[in-house]
Structure 1
C-alpha cells in the first residue's frame, strides 16, 4: 500500500535535513554547501552534526556551485542548496560547464520554486527551473511529492553518481506516501501509479500530486475511473509508464507548479508523442509570471493560475472528449 492513511502535512525541507543527517552517519563522503540559506533549507541540521563537512559560502551562488564541484572532484558527494530563484537562476553557466559537462556528483537541492513562494513575488517564484535543468545533458531532475519521497530520493541521489536537481516545496505539503513505503518505489527514471484508472490518467509532480488525487476522487463520484501517477522523476522520464497510461486510458492530463513550457507537461507530451500519441491537456502556469501575495492567500493565487483539483478535473473531461473512439 503506497498511499498514506494519515491526513496531515509534512515539511519537505525538514525531511531533507533529517535525511542528510542520517546518511551522514555512515557515509563520510557527504558534504553540504550552503548559500546563506542553511536555516531555511534545514541543512543547518547537517552542519550542527558534522561542522567539518558544512560550508556556507554566503550569497554567492556561482561560487556555491563551483565549490560543490571542486569537492566532488575530490571524491565527495556534494549537496548544494539554496532557493530555486538563485540555483539555477544565477548559476546556469556553472551548472552546465562545471557540473553537467564533467558529470560530477553534485546534488542541487533547492526550495522556494513555483507560485507557493507567495510574498516573495514574481522575481522569486521560479517557474522555469525544470525547463532549464532538464535541457542540460547528464542532469537528472526530481520533484518529490512529500517528505517520505524526499527521504528515499536523497538516499537514491547519494547512491547514483552524477548531477541531480531536486526541487522541494516551500510550504508544508499533504502526506502522500505511507511511512512504510519501501525505498525501491523511488528509483531514478521511475514514476509511481497511485490510483489505477481506465478512462484517463493524471500525471503529476510535487505538491500537485495531492491535487491530482483530489481530482481523481471527485471524478470517481461522477462515474469516471481516472488514474493518478506521481512522476517524481521528470528526467529521465518514465517513457514506458507514459506509453502504458496512454494506451490503456486514451487521454492524459499533466499537473505541475511550473510553466507548461519545458516542464512535466512538455516531457510527458514528448514521451507520448514518440510512443503512443493521445490527447493531452497540461495544467500549469500558462507562460506568465506570478505575483506577490500574503502567505494566507497562496491558495487564491494557485486558483487564479488554474493550479487546482477543479481545473485538473475539468481538463480530464476535455482531454477525454478528444480521445480516440
Structure 2
C-alpha cells in the first residue's frame, strides 16, 4: 500500500489474515478442503456442515464437489452441533467447520451434551485457533485446547502444517468418536516433508534430536521450534524438537522418554494460553513420572489479547521465532 505523504511503499498486514507462511515459504492451498473432498469419494457417509463459514474454513471445496452432502446451517453454531449429532446418530460422519471461538465458547454445551456424552462420530474442525487472527478477543481462541481437553470422550488435535492436515483428515475419519481439530486454512505452509513425518493419531514424533534443549511443541509452534533450532546452531545450542499433534490422548510414553534424557532444558511451545494447554499437560506428565528437569513455557499470556497485525502480536506475546530464540538462548545461559 502506498504511503501518500512520503511517496514510499509501506507493507501493511490485515488483522484478519490467518496464514502464517513466511515470505517465500512453500505452501499448499486449502489442504483440509482438498483432503476431505478426496476422502469423501471413498466414504459416502461423510457430510460437510458449517455455520456460514464454508468459504473461510475451506469447506467450499467439498461443497462444490458434493452439494447434496453439504449443509449450510447459518450463523447458529448451537444448531450446527445439534444437527451434526442427529446426522451421526443416523450413521453419517459429519465434518463440522466454524471458527474455534464460536465452537468452543458459543456452542460448548451443545458439543458436551449432544455429541461428546453419546460419544458420537462428529469431527469438529475449527479455523483461527489461538493467535492466528488479529481481530481481538472476539475471534482469538486462546483457550480452546483447555476447554476441549476437559470434555470427556473428545480427541483433540493441533496440526502443524499442510502435511499434518492432509494426513489428519483420513485418520480422524477412521477414528470412532468425537474429534476437535484446529485448522490452518488458505495457503498453509509445508514444513514436515523434510523430516520423513507421518501423522499418527495419539503419537508424538521426534523431528530432530539435540543435546541442550528439548522443545515439545504443537501446531504452528512446531514450525517456529524448527526455525529456532536452526537459528541456535550458530550459538552452538543443540535443540531437539518433539512435535505433539495430538493433545488428547497425549503420548505420555514418548514425552516421558525424551524428557528423561539428562542435561536438557525442556521447553513447551504452544499457540495457546499458559493455562490448560499442552504446557500444563506436559508438566503433569513429568510430575507424575517423577522426572525433574529445568522447564519453561512459550505460550500466550492469561489475558485478553490485543488486536492488530499478526507479526506484531506474535512478537508482543512471545511466540514469534525471534523472541522464542532469544528467550531460549537466555534460559540456557
User: Under a length normalisation based on structure 1, what TM-score does the superposition of the two structures give?
Assistant: 0.90
Q: How far 1:218 sits from its partner (Å)? A: 1.9
Correspondence for 1:18 among 26, 31, 34: 34
Look up the match of 1:312. 324
Q: How far 1:65 sits from its partner (Å)? A: 0.6
State the alpha-carbon separation in 1 of the partners of residues 157 and 303 from structure 2.
Answer: 23
Correspondence for 2:229 among 216, 220, 225: 216
State the alpha-carbon separation in 1 of the partners of residues 51 and 194 from structure 2.
Answer: 31
Against the structure 1 CA distance between its residues 251 and 171, is the aligned structure 2 distance closer, same or farther, given a 3 Å change threshold? farther
**Residue pairs, 1:64-75, within 5 angstroms:** 64-75=80-91
**Where does the alignment leave 5 or more consecutive residues of structure 1 unmatched?**
1-6
Look up the match of 1:124. 139
Q: How far 1:309 sits from its partner (Å)? A: 2.2
Correspondence for 2:202 among 179, 189, 204: 189
Against the structure 1 CA distance between its residues 25 and 181, is the aligned structure 2 distance closer, same or farther, given a 3 Å change threshold? farther
State the alpha-carbon separation in 1 of the partners of residues 147 and 237 from structure 2.
Answer: 36
2:56/2:185 contact within 8 Å kept: no
Give yes or no for the alignment of 1:160 onto 2:175.
yes
State the alpha-carbon separation in 2 of the partners of residues 292 and 10 from structure 1.
Answer: 26
Q: How far 1:58 sits from its partner (Å)? A: 0.4
Once structures 1 and 2 are overlaid, which stretch shifts more, 84-93 or 213-222? 213-222
Look up the match of 1:4. none
* Paired residue secondary structure (2:113): helix
**Residue pairs, 1:1-325, within 5 angstroms:** 8-10=25-27, 14-118=30-134, 120-169=135-184, 172-178=187-193, 181=196, 185-249=198-262, 250-275=264-289, 276-293=291-308, 297-317=309-329, 320=332
2:58/2:186 contact within 8 Å kept: no
Larger radius of gyration: 2
**Where does the alignment leave 5 or more consecutive residues of structure 2 unmatched?**
1-23
State the alpha-carbon separation in 2 of the partners of residues 171 and 19 from structure 1.
Answer: 13
State the alpha-carbon separation in 1 of the partners of residues 195 and 66 from structure 2.
Answer: 28
* Paired residue secondary structure (1:87): helix
Q: Which has the higher helix share?
A: 1
2:28/2:190 contact within 8 Å kept: no
State the alpha-carbon separation in 1 of the partners of residues 315 and 111 from structure 2.
Answer: 33
* Paired residue secondary structure (2:104): coil
State the alpha-carbon separation in 2 of the partners of residues 47 and 181 from structure 1.
Answer: 32
State the alpha-carbon separation in 1 of the partners of residues 120 and 69 from structure 2.
Answer: 18
State the alpha-carbon separation in 2 of the partners of residues 122 and 60 from structure 1.
Answer: 20
